[in-house]
Structure 1
């Protein structure tokens, strides 16, 4: 029998996905496939045209074809790439190339790292990831809306990971799964190490890695300890960065379910432990009889956990029990609306035993969870319904809730953790709103008083500048408080939708005006320092006003804009939970506020010390006017 390979349709790369051409214009289309002796053709409707070999990109051979667009408004041509092997079998590209007659409002051509051509509003332009990095597949999509380019949508993924996914599909459907799976697992952990950065930054890679793990979990193959070590090291790398898992809660459930399936087929005698050279996943297991208590303990990322199955609970005379704990899964798994996962996620399985085989009146599993956040209250012992992908507490009860730990008891097996609420969050929210409300009222009263007494208190330059600073301090704090309340009101919606534009807007203005408040405090301190130290130097009021407003509003605006420009494209400007700067320790966006604010406080403290010393020990011959001195003080 003569067997000749054909590429999978998703492995056939085509470019451009969309092309926008003026009347009678043409476009060179490209189709790339992994090196084989294939015939590559382009299908336009029913017509097939053989492509011309043009370039090589890594292991890819690319073919080109030129197509002309008709001069009809709304005209469109759809072209696919067809691969034919020497047995005349064919495979067609999963993605179609579309050509449009360019008419109506457009986004202007733009040269970034690559050229974005003029594109009609309402359409997208796709750039092949291979043009940026030959080791990547997929596309970067640029949407055009209302004549303006939108934010890019990165759908790049590693060619190596993609090929590994095709390999595991072929392996699972092949005749020698038991023989080939150990080699594949050893290969995939090497790929995960090499592609660590890509896995952490490209969400599509997470999708493919999860699909690989899912295929392994569904293989029902016998698993040895070395195979399990390779698999857990791969998962350890996958779950190391929670940023890459944004909006991928369902994928985390797939990982948990797949590892449970694999663990049921894990072969060992006596006991087993896999906890070396991995940071986010640990596995312990033991073969125990019906009369023996099963007990294991976990320690990861400063969190403890334990699993105990009391004697007499196990269904058979010999039971192979395996427990797996995840330290980062609390941030990746589906979240409850009102409570947060506050501990390790721990799974326990028994080989060849399902929950239906357990007598729920007899079976009992007890777990202890160290609280990752001790300020949270009202613990709830829960298990993850892997089919419905949500947490539920049926069959579980809280045995003990101490300051640092929660003890749970359940009558079945699966993935467990504990959920905890904010405790006094509602009370604290009331305090916040009342406090901000009082602040706003007092600031309004202060501004009214300033407007009434303004003419009587600006008798000289020093007094004038001092009151200008006080008014601007009140105005910036007032506006910041208003935006703070808006952000607080938007916070629940932001938690449900982290990409909410209104939350980002509220965060920007709150950040800007609170920062401006500190800069006006700096201006006030500098004026005090200048008027007291440089007695003989007299700066005009106009210059002082220009410097004051530049420092008070210009500097914070520059900091705010730079912060947004450097963090918003990566989605790290706004916190996932509240409408404020992200406090993620990896991105450190909040430092854009903390560092300038603390620096200003420090500078003003130094000015205060200097001024106090100057007032207590004036220089000989120095006789500042009494009125000026009173205004300064």
Structure 2
């Protein structure tokens, strides 16, 4: 006999027939089986490779499943059991949301039972059913536009505190494996219900380990800015300027402002990041701030809010939870929010132009914040600018002396353009920290674009020099016409980097991935910085190949039979220039790329900064390369 599947047809007058398959497993002598187990539930003898099912314990609804492995060993128990009383509350909430029943009467009744149900939740199904109940209650309240009294709101917050305090491994992790957006469901339900307090119950303050709420009612006039603070760790403060609240008051309307802090929730939200945040996993301060403004029964989503999230390590990203991202499952977004440096304080200050659930993300791969690094960079760039000015003076004095043939002319033309590009780029880069950062600052955008273009142009001119050398080594007796070669060098040295910088600006700026957070330089997380580092390393690689070819030519006696001594001396000058510039350029930017890809200590950043201030064009060496 073999395993058989029987089909039962259920028919009823006026209804479509229902077909139900029933599997019958046959156990024969010699088959591998899992033994009977009565440790918790009763598991009958089960054939290997099959799933056993058992009814849930009393007062639970659902099915418990257990897999029998091929070697006859029982696997873990997978339960979909849900408390029957919780299921009854879920059904009532779902009917209310569908329009059946009286929300004004039944919502407070259901909320009164939620804290007890949250305390007794023992399975992922219990947790998910509890969250769905809260979701349907929030929808029913919003649809019917009813208001809650203090008692109902307290019950909601107590239940929320218990949900946030549930064991992460045994409940939340398993629940999120089935529904990754479970934390987002909780957030949306709580922020909808929390701002539904009756006006006569204001002011209202509530505090539990994981939930803190303060709600206030304001009349037509505002004596000062709205400010609130919470004794969390890290401490949290929020402020709404008076000028942002004044337009909301019309014809004597009173408005209520509700500030809610949910601790541990940000760790339960899915790791979904919107545009400009990349795919990295971020650290969070362990809390989410929800700010809501209601005027009558109307909610306002626009308003300027300033928040201090306390001491944070690294560069913070001010974000909010956008429920519309990722097909409605929610994700972190920084649209309309920006980080600001708090004067005289190391706190993470955020400025946002809308109201919702806020938090701060800290990148795990942040550049160590060392004041000495900034000082070293400024001093090095200042010295480099002076060296480049000296180089221009040297070229003015010796130009006619060193330019004796076409090869030497091409060589010194590239070196002169490198000096000009570096001088402009260093000056721009030195002044960039003093400009207001952010995509809304035209000066910051212009400085970033110019630095990107000018530094790229430096490397492309070095590539032009290497290509001239390669041509002369491969085609010894071929003359290079100046009127043709020089325009090609200008095209390569200026138009190519200009086009690359323009494409980078047009591609990454609309996505919010062009500027680094709080700086006037390319963002490394979204990929904009790699449009600089990639071409640089490619050019260094090409120069390395040209140098290898030049060294082989020098070792061959036939080289002396090629170009005349004067031209050969000019070629040796080009080789000397590339031999000096290429290794230092490659070493520095290779180390720079490594600091972008991996989390490193402060020592590599110091090495990169020191080499960078010395090599961005090898300013000192450029002064001596004419000779």
Task: Give the TM-score normalised by the residue count of structure 2.
Answer: 0.48
Q: Which has the larger radius of gyration?
A: 2
More strand by share: 1
TM-score by length of 1: 0.47
Q: Point out which structure has higher relative CO (alpha carbons under 8 A, 6+ apart).
A: 2
